[in-house]
Amino acid sequence: MAERKPNLKTVSLIVDREYPGYEQALKNLIVEYGKKLELVLDAEDISIQKIGKKSEAHWLAYDVFAGRKKAGRVIKLHELLKVLP
């Protein structure tokens, strides 16, 4: 579950399986990044699955990349650098 103070919000994340064998490390990074954003994330709410090119998520990401849609959230490099070890 993810909570943002003061508004409570539940979030479940599905991450494309791009790096087999690193799933737990990726979940840990996401949880730690969430802490920096004052979110309470549970690793159990993060699912790593093969999304595939036929999924809606793949095409949404592709459309954002191609400039046909606007991203819901853009994470800047300086934001990543704050949370990466």
The domain spans of the chain are 13-83
In this prediction the pTM is 0.55
Farthest CA pair distance, the chain: 38
Going by their DSSP bridges, the two strands 13-16 and 46-49 should be labelled as parallel
Q: For residue range 8-60, list pLDDT tens digits in order.
A: 455 677 888 888 888 999 898 888 888 877 777 788 888 888 888 888 888 88
Question: Amino acid identity, residue 17?
Answer: R
